[in-house]
Chain A
Amino acid sequence: MSAVREAARPQVRTRIWLEEAVPGHSGVTQAAHCHGYDLTGDLLGSARWVEMIFLLLRGEAPSADQARLLEALAVLLANPGPRDPAVHAAMCAGSTGSTAAATLMAALAVGAGQLGGAREVHAAVTAWQQLGCDLSTWQAACAARRQAAPGVASIWPHTEHVPGFDPNATAASPLVGAALARLAALGVGPHLAWLLAHLDVLEAAAGAPLAMTGVAAAALVDLGFSPAQAEMLHLLLRLPGAAAHALEQQTLGPKHFPFFDLDLVDDPLHQEAA
């Protein structure tokens, strides 16, 4: 490429990452800075993983309390467990020897959803932003949500449940309650504490027990993340468990993984017999 065309070279604009080249070798990195912080000279060995994540998304280092809350949330979300549909998806891929990327893509596709997934967290964080910590506003919003007719079509299917609450739960989950209490006790931001204080009223308004997505959303709001950032983080932070369970099933193979059964309702053989 000529010097003239070199000047007009297309560029990626970023406020996140500065990468300096070795003189004379524009493809070889001498040093990299994340939001101004030297990766190898400063961050490596000093910054914790959750501090790096916070820095990447928020552009600033977290306070010690924020880092503690994000770390606790990351531990909480790291493994949704094999019952979780996203982990189930990863295990399907793992048990049959799919590629590692396909395995995580399977977990992401399922874990992206509006029931127990990242899109639900997006919706819940949006709700927190709109409703704040005002009980009557939440009650009104819950009632409206549960009665809302499908509106304009979207790539996301219409859902009726209040985001952050589990419409399929047959009882409140002690695990979810304990997680909320532990995170709220860290004392970062008002939302977790307010959710804990008004949980009974909110669950009654939602007509469903609190879900882990609701805990995660409140924590992510306390950490100052936007709905889009919260959605991404929820996807990312749940991947370790999906990976671990998929690798475990890979060693066991498909014969040791449930295949279930189906009750075929329109079997042509039955129709012929009838």
Chain B
Amino acid sequence: MSASDRPPSWAGKAFVGTRVVFRGQDLHADLRHADWMDLFVFGITGRRYGPAALKLMHALWVGTSYPDVRLWNNRVAGLAASARSTPSLAVAAALGMCEATVYGGHPCVRAIDFLRSARQRVAQGEDLDAVVAAELAERRIYGYGRPIHATDERLPWLLAIAREQGLADGPHLALALEVEQLLCARDPRLKMNYAAMSAALAADLGFSVVEFHHFQVPMAMAGVPPCAVEAAERPAGALFPLSCDHIRYEGVPKRAWPGRA
């Protein structure tokens, strides 16, 4: 067997029939009482967090799990259930598409990357206003502004839990709030949204960009199954069926297919 057929692994290994090692710990002996979030984050970061941090992490997920079947990812799960597909396919598709540009993965990654980098630059003596201006000259700052409604109803609840757990005084959250002020001075619609606040709180918990990217994957997942379960209870094909009247054709007029000699 060549070395590539037996790669080294620190992630873990299943000794099927005897034991399982999870990041250097015995899954059943050492980690059997772990909260699922604790295990999930340990798997990503290799770090174990205390009850306050885990409570906040749960809140980060709970606060954005919206069981509204109109939402794009939920709708896909609902359509899958309506078409009598399977729960796994419904949820997997919904989760996969959450790595979107207008919501989910992309804004979260860009937000934590900017906040971590901005904090470093400010710590090195740069003025935050100049950092923001330089960033805006290059690209949009994610985590501020929201397409449907400028106010993000999730933030006060999340902030309250962060305060309740004594985790609202970190430097990234403070910086994120300052950035909001600077951006709103330019455009009042650029209020902070969930991506920036969750990214700031995660950065204050020590998450790197990659760690937060992985952490946020199931962030909205709890809102998905209710949409699928509800759609499965309806008659098959009954969720948002599109008739010909729902389609507005804006293309070229009818024409004949060019013949081939």
Query: Which residues of A come within 8 Å of B, CB atoms?
Result: 6, 9-21, 26-27, 29, 33, 35-38, 42-43, 46-47, 59, 61, 64, 99, 101-102, 105, 109, 152-155, 258, 260-268, 271
Residues of chain B at interface, number, CB under 8 A: 52
Contact between B243 and A27 (Cβ–Cβ < 8 Å)? yes
Q: Specify which chain B residues have a CB less than 8 angstroms from the CB of A26 in the assembled complex.
A: 243-245
Q: Report the stretch among B86-94, B171-179, B186-194 that lies at the interface.
A: B86-94
Q: Are B243 and A101 in contact (CB under 8 A)?
A: no
- A109: which B residues are within 8 A, CB to CB? 96
A64 to B260, CA, bound (A): 8
Question: 30 A-B Cβ contacts within 8 A?
Answer: A12-B248, A14-B251, A15-B251, A15-B252, A16-B251, A18-B249, A19-B247, A19-B249, A20-B244, A27-B244, A38-B254, A42-B256, A47-B257, A99-B89, A105-B93, A153-B109, A154-B106, A155-B99, A262-B8, A262-B9, A264-B13, A264-B21, A265-B10, A266-B10, A266-B23, A267-B13, A267-B24, A268-B24, A268-B30, A271-B24
**CB contact under 8 A between A61 and B258, given known A152-B113, A262-B6, A266-B10:** yes
Chain B nearest CB from A164 CB (Å) reads 24
Partner of B21, one of A9, A11, A102, A268: A268
Residues of A within 8 A of B21 (CB): 264, 266-268
In the bound assembly, the distance between CA atoms of A11 and B247 in angstroms comes to 5
Instruction: Determine if A35 and B251 form an interchain contact, defined as CB atoms under 8 angstroms apart.
Output: yes
B209 within 8 A of A: yes
Would you give the 0/1 interface string for B1-26, flagging 1 where the beta carbon is closer than 8 Å to chain A? 10001111110110000000101111
Asked if B120 CB lies within 8 Å of chain A CBs, one says no
Chain A residues within 8 Å of B246, by CB = 9-12
Instruction: State which of B89, B110, B245 has its C-beta within 8 Å of the C-beta of A21.
Output: B245
Question: A20 CA to B249 CA in the complex, in Å?
Answer: 10
Known: A9-B245, A13-B250, A27-B243. A43 touches B257 (CB 8 A): yes
Contacts of A19 in B (CB 8 A): 244, 247, 249
Contact B248–A13 (Cβ < 8 Å): yes
A75 to B256, CA, bound (A): 28
Whether the pair A46, B86 counts as a contact (CB closer than 8 A) is no
Report yes or no: A99 in contact with B249, Cβ–Cβ below 8 A.
no
Closest-by-CB residue of A relative to B208 is A153
Q: Are B244 and A36 in contact (CB under 8 A)?
A: no
Q: Find out whether the CB atom of A21 lies under 8 angstroms from the CB atom of B243.
A: yes
Chain A neighbourhood of B243, CB < 8 A: 21, 26-27
A35 touches B252 (CB 8 A): yes
Interface hits, B207-259 → A, CB 8 Å? 209, 213, 241-259
Q: Which of B6, B30, B213, B249 is close to A14, meaning CB atoms less than 8 Å apart? A: B249
- Residues in A neighbouring B260, C-beta threshold 8 A: 46, 64
Contact of B139 with A152 in the complex, beta carbons under 8 Å: yes
A13 to B251, CA, bound (A): 10
Contact of A261 among B1, B23, B139 (CB under 8 A): B1
A61: nearest residue on chain B (CB-CB)? B258
Task: Check B109–A155 contact: CB distance below 8 A.
Answer: yes
Asked if residues B9 and A264 are in contact (CB atoms below 8 Å), the reply is yes
CA distance A33 to B256 in the complex (A): 10
Top 5 closest pairs, chain A to chain B, by CB: A153-B113, A266-B24, A26-B243, A21-B244, A15-B251
B105 touches A (CB below 8 Å)? yes
Query: Please, how many angstroms separate the alpha-carbon atoms of A262 and B11 in the complex?
Result: 10
User: Within 8 Å of chain A (Cβ to Cβ): is B85?
Assistant: yes
Q: A18-B254, A19-B249, A99-B88 are in contact. List 15 more A-B contacts (CB 8 A).
A: A12-B242, A20-B244, A21-B245, A26-B245, A33-B254, A37-B257, A38-B254, A46-B260, A59-B251, A61-B258, A99-B89, A102-B88, A152-B110, A153-B110, A258-B5
